[in-house]
Amino acid sequence: MLTFLIRRLLSSIPVVVAVLALCFLLVRIAPGSPFASERALDPRTKAMLEEKYGLSGSLPEQLLRYGFNVLRGDLGDSLKFRGRTVAEIIGQSLPRSLLLGSISFTLALGLGIPLGAWAAAHHGKKADSFLNSLALLTLSTPTFVLAPVSVLVFAFGLKLLPPAGWGTLSQLILPAICLAIPFIGVCARLTRSGLLETLGSDFIRTARAKGVSETNLVYLHALRPAILPLVAYAGPLAANILTGSLVIEEVFAIPGIGQFFVNGVINRDVFLVSGVVLVYCLLLLLFNLIADWLTALLDPRIRVAS
């Protein structure tokens, strides 16, 4: 177990390094300067600012400089939000995204799995196709449509919830649901397809022959192996949901980390983008690790094989 972990960690390091370097280079080669504004910038000032932030010299030089800083634990300063370090910005924004994301993640799994299982249990009947179509509907609707529409309906139409903001419990509900909805559909579909496949397998047929009820079959016996594709998907899902979404954060005025992926690139704020990408990458690796471990736990065949 420990060797497995260590081996995984070691093999992940080159991936993290490569992603970080790639991200840094991409933002630096994009045209435009992080220091430009509607007022023209004096070339001397621009050069001085580039020197100050370690962005002068050739591209490989800049990358190496950044790399050494990261190794020393210094993620750099934000170029757009002067006087703030990347670590400080991430430190303030990440917990909020994590909070919102974990609620959404719970919703996605907590609603997706039972719905998918229920659909599989009623396979072939109207309920199944209805649920399948509903699931497809949720993942075909862009968030930038869903979020404002739900604000109109629930905040202004029904006046049940606040339309935006951060700080109280009721302000969390609508963004969490909007963030979760596309993923509920995916989880439901993955559960359903996994179950349908498992339900056709031998050991289920045996159990059925033995007289186990259909419901028990679905929920107790088949679910465990059927859930494997979903577990594999849940790794990247967790990383995506926990780092939030630009749309949700802008529509609901949530001070999270998701907007930095887009706005950071648009502002050419290279250290901030690299920092949040690093966070995303680490979350991805962590949750893939957990997912793989859970897979081994749940699938006796893999355990036996290793």
Q: Which residues, numbered 25-64, are part of the site for other proteins (CB under 8 A)?
A: 26-27, 29-34, 36-42, 44-45, 48-49, 52
Biggest alpha carbon–alpha carbon distance for the chain: 83
Q: Is 13 in the site for other proteins (CB under 8 A)?
A: no
Of the residues 180, 247, 271, 287, which one makes contact with other proteins according to CB under 8 A:
247
Q: How many amino acids of this chain bind other proteins (CB under 8 A)?
A: 97
Q: What whole-number distance in Å separates Cα of residue 112 and Cα of residue 191?
A: 8
> What is the residue whose two structure tokens read 């649920």?
131
Of the residues 133, 201, 206, 213, which one makes contact with other proteins according to CB under 8 A:
133
- In this structure, are residues 121 and 226 in contact, taking their beta carbons and an 8 Å threshold? no
Q: Compute the least distance from the CB of residue 167 to other proteins, in Å.
A: 4
Show the CA angle centred on residue 82, arms to residues 165 and 46, nearest 5°.
135
- In this structure, are residues 265 and 27 in contact, taking their beta carbons and an 8 Å threshold? yes
Q: Compute the least distance from the CB of residue 5 to other proteins, in Å.
A: 18
Q: Compute the least distance from the CB of residue 246 to other proteins, in Å.
A: 8
CB neighbours of residue 56 within 10 Å: 14
Q: Closest Cα partner for 63 from 306, 270, 267?
A: 270
Q: Is 15 in the site for other proteins (CB under 8 A)?
A: yes
Q: What whole-number distance in Å separates Cα of residue 51 and Cα of residue 26?
A: 20
Q: What whole-number distance in Å separates Cα of residue 234 and Cα of residue 302?
A: 19
Q: Compute the least distance from the CB of residue 69 to other proteins, in Å.
A: 16
Q: Is 221 in the site for other proteins (CB under 8 A)?
A: no
Site for other proteins, residues 177 to 216, rule: CB under 8 A: 197
Q: Compute the least distance from the CB of residue 154 to other proteins, in Å.
A: 11
Helix, strand or coil, per DSSP, at residue 77: strand
> What is the residue whose two structure tokens read 């790639």?
22
The contact mask relative to other proteins for 73-112 (x = CB under 8 A, - = no) is: ----x--xxxxx---xx--xx----xx--xx-xx--xx--
Site for other proteins, residues 142 to 171, rule: CB under 8 A: 142, 144-145, 148-149, 151-152, 155-156, 162-169
